[in-house]
Structure formats: C-alpha cells, structure tokens
A and B are shown apart, each in its own frame.
Chain A
Amino acid sequence: MRAWALALALFAGAVIGWEIHWRNRGLEPSFGRDQEIWLQQRGDLAPDGIALVGSSRIRSGVEPVLLASLLDMPVTQLGINGSSSLPVLENIAEDERFRGTVVADVFPPKFFDAKRRGETAADLFVNAYTKGRSPFDFAEAALGREVDARLASRHSAIGLMPILSALRKRAPLRTPYYQGEETGFLRQDFRGEEAVVWGEEPPTMPVESPLDNKGIMRLVWRTQAAIQKIQRRGGDVILLRFPSTRLFLQHEQNYFPREQYWDAIARGTSALAIHFEDRPAVAHLAPPDGSHLDYRDAEFMTRFVAELIQTRDRTIRRR
C-alpha cells in the first residue's frame, strides 16, 4: 500500500500544481462537456423561447444570457461545434411544443456538405436526445459540472492530446482563448492572440465536398420543410450567415459560392435569411481567427440578433 500512498500523493501534487499553473495564467473554470451541456439545454428548451442552433460560430457569436435580458425571453444555446444547423432544426421542427424562434447559423462547409463522414456531431447529439438519458447520464452530467466549475485545468485545450502535440512541436502550451460556459456560450477572448492564432500558423484548410445543384435543391426542400412546421405552429426561423474573413472567407467562397449556395437557401425558404455582407452593422466585424467572433464583438452581434428577432415579432418588447 505504500506504493499507492506515494502514487496518490504524487498525483494530488501534480493536479494541484497543474491547476495553480493555469490559474496564474488567467484561465478560469470552463464547461467543455459539449454533449452533456447540449442535452441539458435541449431538455430545457422553452416552448416560446429562442433557440440558437448551428456551429461554433453561433456559440461564440451570440451570448444567450445577454440576448435573454434584451428580449426578456428564455434563450437556449444549441450550437454544436463543427456542425450543420439542419439536424437540430429538424429535431426542433418535430417538437410540437415549440412555438418560439429559431436562429440558425448557416456554416457553409457543414450546411452544404455532400460527404457524409459517418455520423455528424449534430446527428449524434440529436440521436442521444431522442434515445433519452439514463439515470447514469444525469448523474454524470451533474458531477461533471461540479468538477468543471472548480477546476480550470479541465479545459480540453490543455489536455493530453494538446500536451503531446506541444511536445512534438517543442512549443509551449498556450493558454486557451476560448472557454465554454454552462449556457453553451463559447467565450473567445483573443487578447491580442491574433498574431499567434493567425499570423504564424495559418490553418490548413480541408478539401470540401460541396453539394451539386440537385443536392442543393434537396437541401432547400428539407430546410423549408422544417421551417414550415415551425412557422405553422406560430414560431419563426431566422437563417444567419455569420461573419468570416480572410482565408476562411476565401475558402468558403471557393467551395460554396454565395450565389449558388446561400442565395438558393435564402430564396427557397420562408425564413428571414440574413447574410453578414448585406448588413453594414455587422459586415465590418472581423473574427480574429477568421471564423469566430471575440466575446466583445459577440456582444455587438447579440444586440444585432435581438433587433432581427424584434423586427420579425413586434410583440417582443426590447428593454
């Protein structure tokens, strides 16, 4: 047992030291158990509330607590990193109780993706929701939240894989610039990290598989079917193309030209479709990494979204 006594002492020391190290670098506790948070949020979706669906762009671009206070309505963040908004939009469309507003982020590489690489994250999350949660799932989610609320070093960006990557590159491990909140909001705080995020390491863009024209038509039909179900119940849908810049914008325009893809969705559905380029209020926003808004710009974007919702629904009073 002395081996175990020493092992536990070493382990405790390592955990405490690791935690102190990251706290000194400004890291705060973060909630990274995305699926658990999403399932909790989905279960809490208010029938007359606002649902934010899409990718990490809506997670980082719209702050649900702020939006809720502006509109005086419950807001639920249902964005899923690296995902199309369509599976969740369809899931909400099938939910007869929901009569609120869905703000759906259209992230072109996933929304217009023809290649099905196994099950997408959104499909997995929706399937898990449909299947229902076991007592174990609830217990694990609750315990996970308690641990995550107390340990900043639980952040996935400083976990085992990033450590191994840093060792391989012989580079220091950077303080993560994003932190997941319990509401699902992804607080991106670049703090001048732009040069590091972008300038030294431009990301390698993947090879995309855009839908052909037939695929686009089927996608439009599918999206409109979901939108109509929600609208018939008295609800509404807003499709939103979030800002992207530089390499990301160029990449997205190369594979998914606006005229062929976004315009088809905008014209072919009865949702309010807003492209960031068409609105001077947000066209100037420049995500530091080319794809995700800093939390300071997220505040601006959130107010913009609040105005959009109010434009569509005059019964909502703005504070």
Chain B
Amino acid sequence: MTFNSLTFLVFFAIVLAIHHLPISARARKLNLVAFSYLFYAAWNPPFVALLWLSTTVDWVVSGRMGRNPSPAKRKALLIVSLSTNLGLLATFKYGDFLLSNFSQLLSSFGIAYQPPAMNIILPVGISFYTFQTLSYTIEVYRGRLKPWPSLLDFALFVSFFPQLVAGPIVRATDFLPQCIEPRRATRNQLSWGLTMLTIGVAQKVVLADTLLAPVVDKVYDASASAGSLIAWIATFAFSAQIFFDFAGYSSCAIGIALCLGFTLPANFRSPYAAVGFSDFWRRWHISLSSWLRDYLYISLGGNRKGLKRTQVNLVITMLLGGLWHGASWNFVVWGGLHGGYLLIERVAQVIVGGARWTQLWVVRFAAGTLTYLLVCIAWVFFRAQSFSDAANILHALFHYVPNAIPIPGRELLLAAPTIIMMLVTHLLLRNTTFDQVWARVPWWIQSIFLSILLMSVALVPGADRAFIYFQF
C-alpha cells in the first residue's frame, strides 16, 4: 500500500495505537513484524514467501558464519547468501530482460529464437530488501558484525514496513542495535515524525504528481515533436519530479519510523546543490550510493589497485548501479553517464585540484550549475521509455525542431515556480538540514504550514500514480 492512500492512513493509525499500548518490548516487535508482513502482503500475498526466504537464508547463513572460523567455509556460506538474494533479483527483475537480450543476440548471428514471454511479476521492494539483507551477511563475513542473537530483531530489520518497498536501504549496524532497547517515540519524535510524513506525502502528491508530472508526461509522450525550449522545461521538471517523488517517499519512511521510535538514515541532502559528481552522490539516494561503495566498489578493489583499475571499478559500480534501477539499457546508459562524469571529475581534480581559484564562489557556482545540467541530461535516459524517446529529447535539447508541440502554458506556470523553489531551497539548505531550520520556526507558523500541506494533499483527488521507485 502506498503512503498517500486512505488504506495506509487506517493501517498506520492501528499500528501506532497498538505500538504505544503498555505491552512488552517483545510484543511490540512482534506486532511490527506482523504488520510489516501484512503491509507487504497487501501488494501480492504469495510474495511474502520471497521476503521470508531472504530472511531465513541470511539468518541461517550468518549464524553459521559466526560459528565457523574457517575462511573457506565462511566464503562458501557468503556465496550461498549472495546466490540466493542475487538469484531472486536476477530471476524476478531481470529474467525477461536477459531472455529478450539473449534472443536478440542470437538473431544477430542469424539464429531465430523466440522464446515465449515469461511475464514475470516484479515483487515490490525486492531490489531494496535483498540489498539490505546482503549488507548484514557481508558485514558478518567481514567480521564487523557478530551474528545477531534474535531472529525477531532480524526479521524486523528485513521487513520493517516504513522502508521495505523503496528504502532507505538500512544497514544492520544502524538498525539492529536499536532493537536492544524498547522503542517508543517521545513527543518530539512523534511530532517530527508526523511532520516528515506530511511533508513527504505533500512532496509526492502535490509537487511531483500534480505540479510537475503533467508537463513531463506531455513532452515525453510526444518526444518526436518536442521543441528545444519545451524539452529543457520537461528535463528540469523531471529532475524536480523525481526528487520530490523519491525524497518524498524517503521522508515518509523516516517519519513513520520515527513515530515508532526508530531512526532511519537520511537519504537526500540537497542533491541539486552539489558541486561535482562525487558531491552529488553523497547527497542523492545516499543509502544506495554508500551501499554500492562499501559492498561493490570496495569489494572490486576500490582505489587500492592503481589508477586504471580504480577507473574500471568506478565504471562497473555505476553501470551496475544503473542496472539496479531497472531491467533496461536506458538505466545502464544513465549509470554509465554518471560513471563517465565521475571519471572526468577525477581527471579534472588531478589537473586543477587544490588550486585556489577553484574555491572562488563564482567558480563553485558555475561548477554546481554544470553538475546540475549534466545530471538533468542523464535523467533523460532515466525517464524515457525507449532509446528513441531519449534520443528525441536529447536532439531537441540542442537543435531546432520544426513544427514542435506548443508550450503548455498552464503546466509551465505550475512547474516553473516549483523547479525554482526546489533549486533555491537546495542552495539554502546545502550546508544544513531541514530539521535544524524547522526547529527555529515559531510553533504557530509550523502549524499554519502543516495545515496548508494537509489541505493541499486533501484537495488532490484520487491517487493513481505509484511512487517512481516502487518499480525498482
């Protein structure tokens, strides 16, 4: 169920009420696990078995790793965990993609092979919870974490509903220690949690879906006829749409968890105020980028094996990071572009890094603007349904297109201020966090702001748009 739904409102009210009853800590955790499984079953009940499979395999594997000092056996157990989780991911997420590409590869050699379509349903959240459980087994394997003694805690870590279907990807080292003490939100946590939830829903429902999506959809649905100006508008609008959609979800997840007494890590830190791509990836989908850094990039060797190998590791990490987002070459290209950006940035740092003029505010502003523009260009592949759509939009960005579709005035009037507001906010919050700013706002102004958000959400009828990252 989505956070911006009536069903979730009822569901959360019940969970919150039971959680704050005078019951034991164990009962509270059991309640959360049960409701988390119910939450997941609301999408498709049979897929609860996959969640349980991932949980059970990694629990057993990590337990055995802890009892087995032999490096070879520990490695074998790690391979079992990797095979299970990545196998689930490969089958359900990439099965059709691999088959269709295999078929195309054979046909390029003149071999006609048309297998029947498998039509595999993608279980919601599989990309997130498999990565989450893998972080646990890898940390146990590396010896940084002892196998956790409580299966209940571990099951809660894997299935915790606020972040189950679209992150943040929480580390076991961050979550499991929180299960030691009974978790109940303080008044401040409840207040701030509800605030984050409200802001998150408003970002998604009002900003992303109502104000930004219409102009993006209009242009991408007619990409061949998009003119230069409208293509740029749609590109900037999508950068804002995906931010508000995804950051909105993360804000909801963090807020809901806080209402239950749990702290989840921040997932976004004013990413469009980034100066350079390393900075961007420290601000955008932080939980994924840090996961890829710690468990893929470093496992490949990181920057410890010379410059060339570092570059290869970087590109592989970004390509796979792109592929993680979806079974489509568009996402691989998106990841590849970011890999390329990072490579060029490293070279630039070698050439001019440390020079005083690079610290001038005008240079940093220009670098930040260039970062944003290049990120937006990469987003074209992320949003486009096909390479031809992406090519049409990219062509329109830099060329004159005759008989272009007219600029949709109404949609533009809604999207433009939203985009500008987002960029200004990111600049202003670049070196701080929203909660620090919020704490300085008088309480009655907070009330007015919250009531406006609530009313705006209530005025958006019927939610037919799922969160963008649910498809991953």
Report A's interface with B, CB cutoff 8 A. Answer: 1-4, 6-8, 10-11, 14-15, 32-36, 117-118, 134-136, 139-140, 143-144, 147, 154-156, 159-161, 163-165, 168
Stretch at the interface among B18-26, B108-116, B235-243, B456-464: B456-464
- CB pair B221 A118 closer than 8 Å: yes
- CB pair B462 A135 closer than 8 Å: no
Any A CB within 8 A of the CB of B357: no
A-B contacts, 8 of them at CB < 8 A, read: A2-B447, A7-B454, A10-B448, A136-B7, A144-B462, A156-B462, A163-B459, A164-B414
- CB pair B6 A143 closer than 8 Å: yes
Any A CB within 8 A of the CB of B1: yes
- CB pair A118 B217 closer than 8 Å: yes
- CB pair A4 B191 closer than 8 Å: yes
Contact of A7 among B210, B222, B447 (CB under 8 A): B447
- CB pair B217 A134 closer than 8 Å: no
CA distance A118 to B221 in the complex (A): 5
Chain A residue numbers with a CB within 8 Å of B447 are 2-4, 6-7, 10
Chain B residue numbers with a CB within 8 Å of A32 are 461-462
Chain A residue numbers with a CB within 8 Å of B413 are 168
Any A CB within 8 A of the CB of B79: no
Chain B residue numbers with a CB within 8 Å of A159 are 459-461
- Measured CB to CB, the closest approach of chain B to A170, in angstroms, equals 14
- CB pair B42 A139 closer than 8 Å: yes
- CB pair B42 A4 closer than 8 Å: no
Any A CB within 8 A of the CB of B88: no
Contact of B446 among A7, A134, A140, A154 (CB under 8 A): A7
Chain A residue numbers with a CB within 8 Å of B220 are 118
Instruction: Give the contacts of B423-459 with A (CB-CB under 8 A).
Output: 443-444, 446-448, 450-451, 454-456, 458-459
- Measured CB to CB, the closest approach of chain A to B471, in angstroms, equals 14
Chain B residue numbers with a CB within 8 Å of A164 are 414
Contact of B190 among A1, A6, A140, A144 (CB under 8 A): A1
Any A CB within 8 A of the CB of B144: no
> A117-B222, A118-B221 are known contacts. Are A136 and B455 too (CB-CB below 8 A)?
no
Question: Closest A-chain residue to B121, C-beta based?
Answer: A131
Contact of A140 among B1, B41, B187, B456 (CB under 8 A): B1
CA distance A2 to B446 in the complex (A): 10
Any A CB within 8 A of the CB of B359: no
| Chain A interface mostly | helix
Any A CB within 8 A of the CB of B83: no
- CB pair B7 A143 closer than 8 Å: yes
Instruction: Give the contacts of B358-398 with A (CB-CB under 8 A).
Output: 385
Chain B residue numbers with a CB within 8 Å of A34 are 462
- Measured CB to CB, the closest approach of chain A to B448, in angstroms, equals 7
Any A CB within 8 A of the CB of B347: no
- Measured CB to CB, the closest approach of chain A to B215, in angstroms, equals 13
Mask: chain B, 44-60; 1 = CB below 8 Å from A; 0 = not? 11000000000000000
- CB pair B10 A143 closer than 8 Å: yes
Question: Closest B-chain residue to A119, C-beta based?
Answer: B221
- Measured CB to CB, the closest approach of chain A to B224, in angstroms, equals 10
Chain A residue numbers with a CB within 8 Å of B458 are 11, 15
CA distance A155 to B222 in the complex (A): 30
Instruction: Give the contacts of B252-298 with A (CB-CB under 8 A).
Output: none
Contact of A139 among B7, B443, B448 (CB under 8 A): B7
Any A CB within 8 A of the CB of B67: no
- CB pair A33 B462 closer than 8 Å: yes
- CB pair B461 A117 closer than 8 Å: no
Question: Closest B-chain residue to A30, C-beta based?
Answer: B461
Any A CB within 8 A of the CB of B5: yes
- CB pair A2 B443 closer than 8 Å: yes
Contact of A3 among B43, B221, B450, B459 (CB under 8 A): B450
- CB pair A4 B448 closer than 8 Å: no
Chain A residue numbers with a CB within 8 Å of B461 are 32-33, 154-156, 159
- Measured CB to CB, the closest approach of chain B to A66, in angstroms, equals 27
Candidate in A117, A147, A159, A163 with the most chain B CB atoms within 10 angstroms: A159
Chain A residue numbers with a CB within 8 Å of B1 are 136, 139-140
Question: Closest B-chain residue to A34, C-beta based?
Answer: B462
- Measured CB to CB, the closest approach of chain B to A256, in angstroms, equals 20
Question: Closest A-chain residue to B413, C-beta based?
Answer: A168
CA distance A2 to B448 in the complex (A): 12
CA distance A10 to B448 in the complex (A): 8
- CB pair B462 A10 closer than 8 Å: no
CA distance A3 to B445 in the complex (A): 8
Chain A residue numbers with a CB within 8 Å of B190 are 1
- CB pair B450 A4 closer than 8 Å: yes
Contact of A136 among B42, B443, B454, B459 (CB under 8 A): B42
CA distance A62 to B107 in the complex (A): 52
Chain B residue numbers with a CB within 8 Å of A147 are 6
- Measured CB to CB, the closest approach of chain A to B263, in angstroms, equals 19
CA distance A168 to B414 in the complex (A): 10
- CB pair A3 B7 closer than 8 Å: no
Mask: chain B, 197-239; 1 = CB below 8 Å from A; 0 = not? 0000000001000100000010011100000000000000000
- CB pair A117 B221 closer than 8 Å: yes
Any A CB within 8 A of the CB of B194: yes
Chain B residue numbers with a CB within 8 Å of A11 are 450-451, 454-455, 458
CA distance A7 to B458 in the complex (A): 14
- CB pair A134 B42 closer than 8 Å: yes
Chain A residue numbers with a CB within 8 Å of B217 are 118
Candidate in A35, A161, A165 with the most chain B CB atoms within 10 angstroms: A161
Candidate in B195, B210, B459 with the most chain A CB atoms within 10 angstroms: B459
Chain A residue numbers with a CB within 8 Å of B43 are 134, 136
- CB pair A135 B455 closer than 8 Å: no
- Measured CB to CB, the closest approach of chain A to B68, in angstroms, equals 41
